Amino acid sequence: MELGPCKVNDAHNVTFNPYSLTENANVFFVDLPIGVGFSYADHGEYVSTSEETAKDVAAFVAIFFEHFSKFKGRAFHMASMSYGGRYIPTFASYVYDQNPRLVAAGMTPINLTSIIIQNGCTDWKTMYPAHYQQVCENRTIAPVLGISTCVEMKRALPRCEKWLKEACYHTTDPINCRAAQSFCATYIQSPFLSSGHNVYDITKPCTPEELSDTLCYPILKEIAAFLSRPSIRTALGVDAAVPSAFQMCNNAVGRRFDASLDEVFPTETYVEALLERGVRVLLYVGENDWVCNWVGNEQMTLNLEWGGADAFRGEPLREWSVHGRAVGVTRGSGELVFATVRGAGHMAPYDKGEEVLVLYQRWLAGEKL
């Protein structure tokens, strides 16, 4: 659908993807946490946090490079999207911290070069205010919610922010944190969720029923049907232990992560730590997204505390172009780059394949956007 070498057009039709990342890099995709996609555990093991998952990822990465030794020492970039704003900074930190142990064991350290977060939710302290700003202010398009609705949202926002910080970040109080999350969801998120607009692209319609059924992307049903075909499962080497029908979301995994309050961990601290250690960070966002939008992501990057923070904040947003055509704005300094993709939603590589491929090509080559 987005970055892979092939695109599923329907359950029985696949074509080459001209905008695949495999045009410029060797790529592997990992189904994780345990239970997601075609992944499974022999004895019913499971994980409930990103940190627990990170241990599995770091182990896998070490084994991969030892087994496929021709890749040893090559620049390694870790990327993800959406909840990946929580995943990738955590996973990359564990991979980085594992290197001394690999060296001690006589193994080659991983050349972790950069992390890439696409439309990620890394810091909910900045994202909740941005949920209001993206649909009630002229940030991307004209406000899409009514004035009275926006007034109610704005009145509730200070309490949401204060309660969230006190109950979920300054202290760890699960009961009070859930109450804060519930308040924020009711007064900041629900008005937009029930508006009939697409949470992944504010310029398009999508009913709550469509969101539940297809995540507002009907092609996902075709992809699930394609991956559920017995011949495709055999070709991919899917283990017989995995249930036959492929599902786009694993609700059991989601419930475990929700129960552990995994999403409210201040993941931006991992980003700061990676930047301090010279790992480059690219954070890019489709401008039309609401759920993990550019407004909140930009503010998160501006709030980061690291050695290059002042220089980064001192850089203005400027347009970046593809073939002389402006396709978004960017700000970059040192190891950190923030960018938007104009006309794209949550699934930016699906919406704007050429633009995103060019962005990756320039990033991997160390060029300015």
Query: CA 145 → CA 138, 153, 194, 204, 218, distances in Å?
Result: 11, 10, 11, 13, 25
Strand partners, 365: none
- Our CA angle for 250, 263, 163, nearest 5°, is 135
31 close to 6: Cβ distance less than 8 angstroms:
no
For residue 107, what is the DSSP state? P
Q: Please count the CA atoms within 13 angstroms of the CA of 275 that sit on its side-chain side.
A: 23
**What distance in Å separates the CA atoms of residue 5 and residue 236, rounded to the nearest whole number?**
14
Which residues have C-beta within 8 Å of that of residue 93, sequence separation ≥ 6?
54, 270, 273, 274
Quote the tokens at residue 202: 């504010």
349 close to 19: Cβ distance less than 8 angstroms:
yes
Q: Which helix (H) or strand (E) holds 9?
A: strand 6-10
Summary count for the chain: helices (H), strands (E) = 15, 10
Q: Which helix (H) or strand (E) holds 240?
A: none
Please measure the distance between the N-terminal and C-terminal CA atoms of the chain and give it in whole angstroms.
24
97 close to 260: Cβ distance less than 8 angstroms:
no
Helix axes 147-164, 124-136, angle to 10 degrees: 170
* Residue in the structure block whose two tokens are 């937009």: 192
Q: Which helix (H) or strand (E) holds 87?
A: helix 84-104
Quote the tokens at residue 150: 């926006």
Catalytic residues: 82, 289, 346
Query: CA 337 → CA 37, 289, 356, distances in Å?
Result: 31, 19, 14
340 close to 130: Cβ distance less than 8 angstroms:
no
